[in-house]
Amino acid sequence: MRRNQLLTILLVCLLTVPTVALADTSGSPDLSATVQNGTLAAGGETQLTVVLQNSGEVTESSNPQFNAEVTTAKGVKATLQSDDAPVTVKSGTQSAGSIPNGGLAQVPFTVTVDQDAEPGTYTLPVKVRYTYTSEVDQVGQSQSAPTYDYDTETETETLNVRVTIEDRARFQVVNASTDAPVGDRGPVSVAIENVGSEPARNANVAIESSNGDFTFSGTPSASSYVGRWEPGEVRNVTVEGTFAEGAAVRNYALGATVSYENTNGAATQSDRLNFGVTPTAEQSFEVENVQSSLRVGSEGALEGELVNTGETTARNVVVSFDPENGNVNPLETEYAVGNLAPGERANFSFDTEVTDSADAGPRLFSLDVRYRNAAGERREGESLDVSAAVEPARKKFLLQGVNASFEPGENGELLVELTNNDDETVRDVSAKLFVDAPITSSNSEAFVSELGPGETTTLKFGAGVAGDALAGKTYPVSMDFRYETPDGDARISETYQVPVQVTEPEDDGGFLDAYGLIVGGGLLLMVVGGVVLYFRRE
């Protein structure tokens, strides 16, 4: 009885105690690291690609379907470290995903090498972290399929890669500038230094723009041959660039690439050297201090100052004045002001004739400017509007009669004061007097050799008044002048009038004198008659 109970108890224990499972499949990933393009240059920035390769190991495999499960590295993350190497890793931790057994993953990192890095081979640590399934065990059997237990672990390890910093020519942009203004072309100068430890032979520098507002004669790139380039040597490369009209005044990104032969004769190309240049503002001018002496019917001047408001020197500057107005006629339509540096100004003046048909008042004229740029090419500036006044016509001469009164039947000198009412000297002035009855003239011409602005002289003419002229009445006489301007042009003035007044005769007792003469004569006749009669009687 006791023996049967013991067997029963043992059977129940065996049925109720869980079964201890043996591992069906176990193993682990095995990662290694190498680098692509592992040759670096001091002072350069490059993308260093770390290649992670998985050579996993299966330690037990009673169920081969789980071999891949236990050898795959999952959620791999890699961090590149510089350790003591003269490099700086600019990229942080990178994700590589899952790497199966026999697979690999390429993980890129951006690194820069110190300028003064010593050539040689350096070790860079790569810290990797991942998870994997270490074991897969069957723990039961259901009606449809067996059940398994997965044992997951996290692994962190450090791998090493080796890079080489080699001796070679390296290049750095020292300075870059341009004088080209917006809407024009000009030189782009780039100073580049070979900061490496080896010379470059047969070097050629290509400069490229990726912006359509800045080109090299319509193309995106230009190149210049440099030749042999020693370490520490700075070479200046100059190409001609063009900025489009309306381009913004800002920094434009450019890149330079140096192609050369290294000391072994192998063709080599530098990394892209980034730099920028800023155009000057578009060439511009302004007109200031405008003065006008234009007047209807006379010659005057339009004057002012032309100012270079741009940032570059304009050479051989010419101002043009060609109004589309038949009543305003410049004697010369162009005025050369020469070279104008930024901010510099120069005077211009246009002697201009305004016809009698012109209207007085404010006028808006346009001045055109042309010049040559730094390359000696002719350029046209914008038209500049200039406001100027055209004054009303004024008489060339002023006349004032100073001895212009005559009695009926009287002859004498007609004196007229002549004043130059203009602002320029006139020469060889010939005056001509025109009279109508009852005014007469015995000398109708007068001459003045020169008469300055505002100057007055007296003209003398022989004149008289007929005896039947009505006393108290005023009669006009006409006068015009032939003269020469300072430019030697012969002119005829308008006709002027001077009033001549006929005055009453002065009362000087003439009637009494005649009466006395008659009475005296009568008395004398009577005396003579008496004497004759006396002697006859004797």
The pLDDT of residue 6 is 45
Task: With residue 14 as reference, give the H or E element that holds it.
Answer: helix 2-16
Which listed CATH number (3.40.50.12780, 2.60.40.10, 3.40.640.10, 2.40.40.20) goes with 403-502? 2.60.40.10
* Sheet of 104-113, strands arranged across: 31-36, 45-54, 104-113, 87-89
- Tokens found for residue 37: 């393009």
Distance from C-alpha of 517 to C-alpha of 537, rounded to nearest angstrom: 30
A 10 A CB-CB count for 47 gives 12
First-to-last alpha carbon distance for the chain, in angstroms, is 249
- In order along its 538 residues, the chain shows pLDDT tens digits of 444 554 444 444 444 444 444 458 999 999 999 999 888 887 778 899 999 999 999 998 888 889 999 999 999 999 999 999 999 999 999 999 999 999 999 999 999 998 788 889 999 999 999 999 989 888 887 777 888 888 999 999 999 999 998 878 889 999 999 988 898 888 999 999 998 888 999 999 999 998 999 999 889 999 999 999 999 999 999 999 999 988 999 999 999 999 999 888 889 898 899 999 999 888 899 999 999 999 898 888 999 999 999 888 999 999 999 998 889 999 999 999 999 999 999 999 999 999 888 889 999 999 999 999 887 889 888 899 999 999 998 888 999 999 999 999 999 999 999 999 988 899 999 999 999 999 999 999 999 999 999 999 999 999 999 988 888 899 999 999 999 988 888 999 889 999 999 998 876 544 444 444 454 455 545 544 554 444 455 4
Domains in the chain: boundaries: 21-164, 171-277, 286-390, 403-502, 510-538
Query: Which letter, b or e, does each residue of 321-345 get, where b requires 16 or more Cβ atoms within 10 Å of its Cβ?
Result: bebeeeebebeeeebebeebeeeeb
The CATH fold of domain 171-277: Immunoglobulin-like (2.60.40)
Please give the CATH superfamily to which domain 286-390 belongs: Immunoglobulins (2.60.40.10)
The pLDDT of residue 197 is 82
What are the φ/ψ torsions at residue 56 (nearest 5 degrees)? -65, 160
Residue 241 exposed, middle or buried by CB count within 10 Å (0-12, 13-18, 19+):
buried
Distance from C-alpha of 184 to C-alpha of 199, rounded to nearest angstrom: 37
The CATH fold of domain 21-164: Immunoglobulin-like (2.60.40)
Check whether the bond before 486 is cis (ω within 30° of 0).
no
What is the SS3 assignment for 24? Answer: coil
- Amino acid at position 521, single letter: G
State the DSSP string of 257-291.
EEEEE-TTS-EEEPPPEEEEE-PBPPP-EEEEEEE
- Amino acid at position 4, single letter: N
What are the φ/ψ torsions at residue 27 (nearest 5 degrees)? 170, -165
Whether 21-164 and 286-390 share one fold: the answer is yes
Distance from C-alpha of 317 to C-alpha of 133, rounded to nearest angstrom: 84
- Of 102, 104, 92, residue with least CA distance to 68: 102
pLDDT in tens, 3-40: 455 444 444 444 444 444 445 899 999 999 999 988 88
Nearest-5° Cα angle at 196, 194 to 202 = 55
104-113 vs 185-194, strand pairing mode: unpaired
